[in-house]
Structure 1
Amino acid sequence: MLGTAAPATRWLLVEHPGGWAPAALDSPGIDDAVADRLHRTALSVGGRVVLVRRPGRAAVPAAARPRRWTVLDLDGRRQEGTWHRSDDLLAADAALLHGPDDSAAGDLPGPLFLVCTHGRHDVCCAVRGRPVAQALAVRWPQQTWECTHIGGDRFAANLLVVPDGTVYGGLDAARAVDVVQSHLSGSVDLEHLRGFSAHRPPVQAALAAVLRAHGPAAVGDVTPGEVVAHGGRWRVEVLGRGGLPARSEVTVRRTSQPAARLTCSASADATAYVWTAEVIDPAG
């Protein structure tokens, strides 16, 4: 799974308790023009738009209450608002484009845990994701949300932690609670780690390799330095803190798996990349 987190450094979370279309922004209540604008803005800033709803949701009429939106940056900055009509999301689009306005920030209860349950995108995400979302909601009710597609359906159930952007996969209800508790305690769970969405796939694999060799450690204890590409290989400098080496060099290689049916909804076989990383030696 390593190196498979979809890159993003800014997230727009839009509360949408109704049904989700296969393509999230095509969902009822979001005008085509607004959806297109949000999509283009996200692409321009390296961000993602994710629809969210509470686990175990009841049917809520669209006009019953304002729905929330939140823009989160990797550095923890945030901005929140509400919307009744699709046009109200233009304020969210501005925050997504320019970054959160700290003066408008609300109080978040801590990291948010987004579990993909997007069944109309891939049924495996709903079948495997909903029990995980329910289990996390029992322990962290204010921080847990179901969400639309975040990539890697074949690794369901998938969990995205924001704002730090860590992605875990292959979870079940029991293991998910342990993984989140470990994450909050400052120890990345390497068995279920897919990667860190702040970085490109080869860098994700290199950071994970250092954590595996010298951890346990937290997400923020490893950062990339110089990255040099040579065809299908990369040399990645990893800077560590705490109990990790101050500097490590990692070689990363990309190979392709044999074609296979990768997801529940796949109509044909496809190939996928595999990232392997080896720590050469710590230095510095």
Structure 2
Amino acid sequence: MTAERFFCADAARARGDALPGTAPYGLVWVLVEHHAPWPANGYDGLPLEPATKSRLYDAARAVRARILLIRRHGRRPADAGPRRWAVLRYDATGAHRQHWGTWDRDEDLALAAAALDAPGEPGHPPVVLVCAHGRHDTCCALRGRPAARALAERWPELVWECTHVGGDRFAANVLVAPDGVYYGGLDAASSVAVVEQHLAGRVHAAHLRGYTDLFPAQQAAVAAVLARNGPAGRHDYTVTGTSRAGPHWLVRVTGPPPRATAYDVEVTAHRAAPHQLTCNGPATSAAMLHEVTSIRAG
């Protein structure tokens, strides 16, 4: 008798795994367009010229940037001509910055490494990245690609498939960068609705994993305020205070002027029971959960 195949996203939905507080921290992303099949470990597995590969890797690590391989949805030949690269940089003022270029030879990626030392240009529309990294996790392909198809049909110039962004069990995962907003648990229809609202300046609590400039307890606090008050712009709410006593956090979230209402949000962190959190491999892990226990308007 054949054992039933395990899918981590199905299991996470059945358990009701919480989304808020699960976005990986990050302020800078390096995107490298790559048409050939992606290695399971993404950029690390590319057979690039060693010196250039190391230069970009070291430059990214120096500023804690994440390197993601990208491609447009749909199959393209590996020799489809010059590919694009980008450096996306989050800015707390909302003037998010981007630097784009092209590469034909491996050595051209040295320009991407150099761009990590430059501020980049504001004014570009955000980039919508959909994790569709099937060699890393099956659910990322099964759930990510239908979402990528629907989004690309609507916004062909903004949408790219990308390699692993973290949280396989929350597929389909969408990262809007350099805004630094993670969404999860999406499908084709909900991904279009969520991104449409995001581009209109309305971040909803539903499907929100978190803001990447915040730590998990802070992400959970902001998501709770959004759930209470309704959708808001990416920078409408700011974290203006955080304190911790063991597993208990007190996060102050302040709203936009002119009222600038402040909310004191209590968050408790604890480990969930161990579960298999990815499709690839039977190992179990205990995820950290951040549960909001109270919200008080100050």
| 1:200 partnered with 2:215 | yes
Matched residue of 1:136: which SS?
helix
Contact 2:239 2:253 in 1 (8 A): yes
Contact 2:89 2:120 in 1 (8 A): no
- Paired with 1:4 and 1:34, the residues of 2 have a C-alpha distance of 32
What is the CA deviation profile of residues 13-44 of structure 1, one whole-angstrom value per residue up to 9, with x for unaligned ones? 11111111111113434234443443333333
Aligned counterpart for 1:42 among listed residues 42, 46, 60 = 60
State the partner residue of 2:140: 125
- Paired with 2:171 and 2:136, the residues of 1 have a C-alpha distance of 12
How far off its partner does 1:3 sit? 0.7
| 1:71 partnered with 2:87 | yes
Contact 2:175 2:182 in 1 (8 A): yes
Runs of 4+ with deviation above 4 angstroms: 242-245
How far off its partner does 1:185 sit? 2.2
- Paired with 1:18 and 1:111, the residues of 2 have a C-alpha distance of 25
Aligned counterpart for 1:214 among listed residues 222, 229, 236 = 229
State the partner residue of 1:162: 177
Matched residue of 2:84: which SS?
strand
C-alpha RMSD of the superposition: 1.9
How far off its partner does 1:177 sit? 0.7
- Paired with 1:244 and 1:117, the residues of 2 have a C-alpha distance of 42
TM-score, normalised via structure 1 length: 0.91
State the partner residue of 1:25: 43
Seen in structure 2, the aligned counterparts of structure 1 residues 244 and 173 have a Cα distance that, compared at 3 Å, is farther
**Aligned ranges for residues 1-284 of structure 1 at < 5 Å?**
1-61=19-79, 64-75=80-91, 76-96=96-116, 98-102=117-121, 108=124, 110-241=125-256, 245-283=260-298
Please identify, of 239-248 and 146-155, the stretch whose mean Cα deviation from structure 2 is larger: 239-248
- Paired with 1:203 and 1:130, the residues of 2 have a C-alpha distance of 30
- Paired with 1:244 and 1:93, the residues of 2 have a C-alpha distance of 43
- Paired with 2:202 and 2:120, the residues of 1 have a C-alpha distance of 31
- Paired with 1:81 and 1:164, the residues of 2 have a C-alpha distance of 20
State the partner residue of 2:12: none
How far off its partner does 1:99 sit? 3.8
- Structure 1's unaligned 5+ residue stretches are none
State the AA in 1 paired with 2:71: R
State the AA in 1 paired with 2:86: T
TM-score, normalised via structure 2 length: 0.87
- Paired with 1:180 and 1:243, the residues of 2 have a C-alpha distance of 27
